[in-house]
Chains A and B, each alone.
Chain A
Amino acid sequence: MTSLVTADGLTRVFDDRVAVRDVSLTVNAGEIVCLLGPNGAGKTTTMRMLAGLILPTSGRISINQIEVTEVTAGRARSSVGLLTEAPGLWERLSVRNNLLTYARLHGVADADRSVDQALRHVDLLDRAGDVAGKLSKGLKQRTALARALLHQPPVLLLDEPTSGLDPASARHVRDLIVDLRSEGRAILVSTHNLGEAQQLADRIGVLKTQLLAFDTPRALRQARAGARVVIDLEGSNIPIEKPIDSLSDIPGIVAAIVGDGKRIVRVTPTERSLEDVYLDLVGDER
C-alpha cells in the first residue's frame, strides 16, 4: 500500500510549551485515519504540520513523496486539501467566487470547470450563486470541503469536519468522506466524536501531546482494554465476567465453571467500547 502521509518523530515546541511530541504515523492511499484526542492535545498542530503550514521543531514529514521542508512546503501544500475547523469562507462573495479564488491560487488550469466538479462532488452545484454568508453551517462546511477538493489533492486533512453540524448534515459530510476514500485518497480526520471515528476510520490514532495508540479500531479495543466474556448462570442474577486474550480462551473458562457443577445459561464474549479504550488512554478528566 502506498503511504501518502508519513510523519516520523514529529515534535513541535511553541516558546517553551511542547504542543506535540515524537508523533509518528502514516496514512495510506484509500485509507481514513482518525486522530482522536482531548482539547489541546495537539491535533490541530499536527494537522498544520502535515499541511505544510508550520514546520516541526524536529522530525520528518513526507506528503505524497515530497519531503516537507521550508523550501518544499509550498509544493507539498499543492498535494493537500485542508478542511479547517471553521469554514473560513468570504461571506460577502458567492460560493462560486469563493471557490474560483482558491482554484486560481492553486493554479488550476480550468478554474471554472474544477469549481463545477468540486461543487458537484459535494452536491452544491445548484447553490453556486448563493452568497456564502447566507448558507447554513452544514452547507458552509460542504463548501469548505469542495474548496479542499478543487485541486484534486491526493491527501485530505479534515479538522473536525462535522463539528457543530446537525445529524443530517454530519451524516452527509461523513458519506462524502467515505466516497473520497473510495477514490484512493489518503484522509486524516481529526475529531472528538468517537462514534464518527469508529464509523469512518480504518485506523485510529489517540493523541495527547504524544501518540498514545495507533491501530485499527478493533485492535485498539482488543489490545488496549482487553476483551471479556460474560457468563450467565442458572439461578443467579449476577453474571461472571472474565478477561480474555482471545476467543480461544473461552472453552477453558466454560469447562472450569461446568466442572464446579454450575449450569451455564449464556456465554457472551464482549469487547470494550472505543470510549472505554479512549478514556483509559487519555484519562478521564472530569
Chain B
Amino acid sequence: MRSRIVSLAILYIKSTFSLSLPSWKELKKPKKLAKTIGIGLGIVLILADVGFMFVMMNMTMYEGLKPAGMQGLMLLNASITASVLVFIMAFMMALSMFSQSGIESGFLVLPFSSRELLAAKMFLVYFAEALMGVFVMAIAIVIYGIKEAPPFMFYVNGLVTAFALPLLPTAISYLILVPLMNASRLFRSKNFIIYLGGFLGMGFALAFNFYIQSAMTKIGAPASLALYVDSGSLISRLGQAWIPSWLAWKALSEASSITGILAVLGNLAIGLAGCAVVVVLLGNGYVRSLRSFNESTFSKKKLSLDGKGREGRRTFTQKSLMRSLVAREIRLINREPMYLLNGPFVMILMPALMAVVYLAQREILSEAVKSLGPMLTGPGAYLIPAAFGGFLGSSSSITSTAVSRDAKALPWIKSMPIKSTWYFAAKLLHAELFALLGAFIGCGAGALLFGIGALDSLIALLLALLFSTALNMAGLWLDVTWPRLRWDNPLAAMKQNPNSSIAILATMGLIGGLSGLSAVIALPRYAYAMIFGAVFAILILVWVKFFPKYAAKRYKDMEA
C-alpha cells in the first residue's frame, strides 16, 4: 500500500500531465497512430529546438574558453542557467497551481494533513522542474564529457546535482506564494492568478530570451566572452550568490575529489532542508489559502430596467443580431484568460518579443537591416512590412479554434434561430478586427524599422489585410471541418487544438514560400503586390462562394 502522500503526488502528476501512453491495440487504429506519431514528433521538435539552443551555447562557450584553459566555467554557466530556468519555471508552475485551488479544496474533506497536501503539491512542481534541470544540465555534461573525458563520478555528480537543483527553487516559490495568497483577497481569484501568471510568464520569457540572446552575442566574440565570465560579470556574481549553482559547479569541476561528493551532498541537503522547512512551517498556511480561495465575482451593482441614465440606455436595448453575435464572440474570448493569452494577446506579445531580440542583438540586427538595403529600394520596401503585418494579423488563432471553443454551447446555439452563415460570419468578423490590429502593428513596425514611405506602407497594409483575411478564412474552414468538440478544460480548445498549430505553421510556411518566390522571380516593383493581392483576393472570393454552403452542412451535422 502506498502512503497517502505518494498517492496524492502521483494523482497530481497524472492529472497535470495526462500521462497515458496508448496500448499496442490502440495503435492499430490509423487515427490513433497518426495522432501519437504527431504528438511524438511535436515533442521531439520542441526538445530539439530548445536543445539546439543550449548545445550551441555550450559548444560556443567551450570553444571560446578552451584556449585560456577556462573551459570549466562552461559548467558554471550551465549550473546557473539551469538554476535560473528551474527557478522561473518552478515559480510559474507553483503560481499556476493556485488557480486550481477551487478544485483542490475538495481534498480538504479527505484525511490529509495540511503538510501532506503541501508536500504532494510541491512534489508535483519539483517533478516537472527536475525534468527541465536534467535536460539543461545533461547537455552541458555530455558536451564537456565528450570534449574532456572526465572521470565517471563527473556523470554521477552531474545527474544527482541536476535532480537536486530544483529542490530549493520549489521551496522558495512556495515560501513566497503561500504568504502572498493569504495576504490579500486579490490573490485568491482564479482569473487574477491566471492573468498574473500569464504576464509574469511572458515577462520571464522575454527576460530569459534577452539573457540567451545577449549570451549568444557575447560568447561569440573572445573579447566579450572574457567580460562575460569575468569575476565581476553577472554570471560570476550569480554563481557566487546562489549557493546551489556554486555547489553544482564544484560537484562537476572537482568530481573526482571528495570536494565534489561533498558538494553534491551539500546541494541535496540544502534543497531537502529547504523543502522540509517550508512544508513544516507553511502547511497550515497553504491549507488556509485553499480554504479561503474565492473566485466569486458576484456583482452588487443593480441594473436599471427603466432605460434611464447612460447604463440604462445601453443595457436591455435591442441591437442587430450580427452586432450581438460579434459582441458575444469578443466577450467570450477576451474574458477567458487562457484564450486571451494564447490568442489575441499574441498581437502584443510578438512585437514585444521582437523588440527584445532587437535590443539584445542590436548590433547584429542593425547590420542585417543594412544588408536588406538593396531589397528595400525594390519591392522589399512593401513586401517585408506586409509579411510582418500578414503574420501578425493571422496569428490570433481566433478562427482556427472558433468552433472548438464553442463546443459546449453548440447544442444551445443550434437550437436558436441563428443562420449558420450569420454564426460563422460573426466569428470571421471577430478575427478580422484583430487582423486589422495585427496588420497595422506589423506593417507599422516594419515601416518604422526600415523607414518606409507612405505609399509602400499603404500597399503593405492592404497586402497584409488580404493575406490575414485569406488565412483567417482558411483557419475557419479547418476548424469547421475538424473541430475539437469534446473537452473538459477550455484550454484544450485552444492550446491542445491541432488546428491552431496547423494554421500558424501554414502561415509561417506560406510567408517563407512567398518570400523565397519573390527573391527568385524578378518582376517590376509593384507586380508582386498585384499578383499576390490578386491571388489572395481570388482565394477570398472562392471562400465566399463555397464556404457558406459547406459550413451550413457541417453545422447541421455537428454533434457536440
Our verdict on whether A and B bind, yes or no, reads no
Give the B-binding residues of A (Cβ under 8 A): none
Give the A-binding residues of B (Cβ under 8 A): none
